[in-house]
Amino acid sequence: MSHLNILGLLMAFLPMQSRPANVELAEPWVEATYGFSVRPPKGWVLTQTRSLGQREATLLQMNDPQRSLFPPELLVKFVSMPQETSLDRLMEDWRFGLSSQFGDTDMQETRLVRIAGRPGCRFVATFSREGQSVALLQAAVQLSPTNFLVLVHTGLAAQRGDAERVFDAVLESLRLLEDENSDARARKAVSVGKSWLRSARRADLDAKRRPPVCLALKLNGRECGYLHVVEEPFTFQRADGVRVAERGWIFADDGKVRRHEADLFLSFDHVTESWQNRIVTLVPAREDRQPALAQVWEEGIRDGDVLVAARSYQYGQRPDNQPSLRLPLEGYAPRLLVRWLPRLVDLSKSETYGFSSYDHARHALVLKTVETRGKVTPPGLSAEGPLFLVIEREGLSGPPIELICDAEGRLVRSTAGPLTMMPTDAAAVEARWAPRIEATVAQMRQLDEQIEKSMQRFRGNP
């Protein structure tokens, strides 16, 4: 995982919006590839997915963890119909589908509404499932003659009042991020990106390597850790290329401590690529829980146009392989190449580069854009030469990661929401954090030994 991705994990997205009373919502969840944001109910468990059906893709699943028997569930779906479909026809398809699957269905509400400034519809029905009366609330916003964004809530009919308040609050929070020109802008960005990728094959990656650098991290202006970055020649599976290795620590305000390790490799001919990202988090003890270890472990290998990725989000488990993906012939950008884009392009020119990029959480390709904005004069920064602004994001309107670079593409400062990174003196920052790191490593080692003993007992090896 690059330091850009760490920043993205810590971002706050959009400002608060009004909502029905008695419903508390969390910070906005942004789906930049499909161009929308929504605020889930606070405290609900979120599962980001890209579950594909015949005509639809489930993008987000939200579950209420407080109720164990038929817990309420909210889904956000992207629906694509095979031909131009009106909202009335869409609701008729919903009614027919429910009746075919569950038999007697009580239609309570079907009406056309405006959602996020677009034509939409609202649909409410009750039916019997597993001996329980279930209430289904659905709303769709029409994105095009064939495409719809759909919010679905299912729960017990006896709790319909609470369900409607939650449903309406989440629906009201929905924001469409793209405008009517977004498709044309995306096509242009992808075209520019493809052209640049072809020219980048001629770049001498080894000549673009930089000396090791240490980055100081600040969260809301408070020092919170550091990241070492080393770029070196490397050989992977008999392919010569360049590796970027990152090692660092983040000390969060809530007492959690994260150890970050990441490696990116790209062969000189761009045919072979690999990466591994591992974040181990020490979760401190509270009155209701013991200290624990958590992990995010993601890795991938690409050979030509075939990509194999793996992931694990449970400490002690190695990543499980996902089904392999066949990549497009053009448009896919290796991670290291996107990382180095500021040192491979003319930063004085304003341009938007669009690429396909692999996303572990969805096991799918998403659109990533990198914008060069030309010269800037950021307050509080001084440099011998001109400074330039580069913005990386998912899609055209995802949360931005702002990079201030010098004329050679060297990082001067990066900002993502409340988190900033700037080059610093390695010896000073290591001395600053050494006592806390030593204590954290000792506690992590102790917890790891306890987990290993528990696993041995579970496997029958006392």
C-alpha span between 276 and 339 (Å, rounded): 15
Predicted local distance difference test score (pLDDT) of residue 269: 95
3-state secondary structure of 124: strand
Virtual CA dihedral for 67, 69, 74, 80, nearest 10 degrees?
170
User: Which DSSP state fits 26?
Assistant: -
Residues paired with 292 in a beta bridge: 283
- Cβ partners under 8 Å of residue 230, min gap 6: 212, 244, 245, 246
Query: Cα(204)–Cα(143) distance, rounded to whole angstroms?
Result: 44
**What distance in Å separates the CA atoms of residue 26 and residue 417, rounded to the nearest whole number?**
16
Tokens representing residue 5 in the block: 């991705």
Considering only CA atoms, which of 211, 226, 281 is closest in space to residue 421?
226
Mean pLDDT by 10 residues, the chain (462 residues): 42 33 82 84 82 74 77 90 92 91 87 92 90 91 92 90 92 79 81 95 94 95 96 96 97 92 97 96 86 93 96 87 90 95 96 93 85 93 90 87 95 93 95 95 93 72 58
Pick the closest to residue 295 from 279, 284, 308 (CA basis): 279
In this predicted structure, what is the pLDDT of residue 181?
56
pLDDT digits 0-9 by tens, 159-178 = 888 899 999 999 999 988 76
Sketch the domain layout of the chain as residue ranges.
3-31+36-176, 183-424
Q: What is the pLDDT of residue 223?
A: 95
Q: Give the strand pairing for 213-219 and 222-236.
A: antiparallel
In this structure, are residues 399 and 7 in contact, taking their beta carbons and an 8 Å threshold?
no
Residue type, 380: G
Question: CA 5 to CA 244: how far, in whole Å?
Answer: 14
Tell me how long the chain is.
462
User: Is residue 3 helix, strand or coil?
Assistant: helix
The CATH number of 3-31+36-176, from 3.40.50.300, 3.40.50.1100, 2.40.30.10, 3.40.1000.10, is: 3.40.1000.10
Can you list the alpha helix ranges (DSSP code H) found in 219-324? none
What pLDDT does residue 74 have?
A: 94
Please tell me the predicted confidence (pLDDT) of residue 362: 74
Q: Name the β-bridge partners of 272.
A: 303
Residue 363, judged by CB atoms within 10 A of its CB (0-12, 13-18, 19+), counts as middle
The pLDDT tens digits for 228-258 are 999 999 999 999 999 999 999 999 988 999 9
Q: Give the DSSP letter of residue 332.
A: B
